[in-house]
Amino acid sequence: GAVVSQHPSWVICKSGTSVKIECRSLDFQATTMFWYRQFPKQSLMLMATSNEGSKATYEQGVEKDKFLINHASLTLSTLTVTSAHPEDSSFYICSAFGTSGIRTYNEQFFGPGTRLTVL
Amino acid sequence: DAKTTQPTSMDCAEGRAANLPCNHSTISGNEYVYWYRQIHSQGPQYIIHGLKNNETNEMASLIITEDRKSSTLILPHATLRDTAVYYCIVRVRGGADGLTFGKGTHLIIQP
């Protein structure tokens, strides 16, 4: 399967600061990337969908001005949590699907996740 | 996407086959059954998917009933590393939407 990486794997920041999380597709071109959030003992919740070169589409209840998403290339999407607060502490996971050569992936491949702790 | 129902948790002895059921009685004709799993503190991992025929890969087998209203994921020889939450998701293949995760089944492999 295709490989998706995330950086950093964990981050601790002070309340009010901004944090950027990177999601990269390593061996395929990700035409679409997704960002999920997972609170302890809960399932993954979709936050937003991003297509390369266009604005992200956010799920209901997700503040687009707080969670800035940029998908500037076919291999990189970034999620910036602006003015982070303790309630933003969560496990953030990206996923992607796309193409590699002539092969089109119909399944989504997930990154390893980023654990954000806001003090 | 159609809704799925899975047991909350299951136990299986190491070395035995783990059979994880999923009900999806409202599945549409163009929807596939996908299985993912999430090991603690990691991102979900794709396992297998199918439409109506049984499927097998290096990780697992997927058995879909003839009426497509339910399916079973089979891990033929479970190991301790297979302990994870397993998610059954029904969706149109190649759909551009994100995945809707239910609560999944917490599979615990016992030594």
Q: Does the N-terminal peptide bond of residue A8 adopt cis geometry, omega within 30 degrees of 0?
A: yes
Q: Is the dihedral of CA B6, B7, B11, B12 positive or negative?
A: negative
Give the pair of three-digit tokens for residue A116: 């954000």
> If you count residue pairs, one on A and one on B, with CB atoms under 8 Å apart, how many are there?
54
SS3 B80: helix
Determine the pLDDT at residue B2. 62
Give the pair of three-digit tokens for residue A74: 């076919």
Burial of B104: CB neighbours in 10 Å, binned 0-12, 13-18, 19+:
buried
Give the pair of three-digit tokens for residue A105: 């992936």
Q: How many angstroms separate the CA atoms of B56 and B49, rounded?
A: 9
**pLDDT tens, per residue, chain B with 111 residues:** 568 999 999 999 999 999 999 999 999 999 999 999 999 989 999 999 999 989 999 999 999 999 999 999 999 999 999 999 999 999 987 667 889 999 999 999 999
Q: Do A49 and B99 touch (CB under 8 A)?
A: no
> Residues of B with CB below 8 A from A106's CB?
49, 93-94
The residue type found at A4 is: V
Q: Do B98 and A46 touch (CB under 8 A)?
A: yes
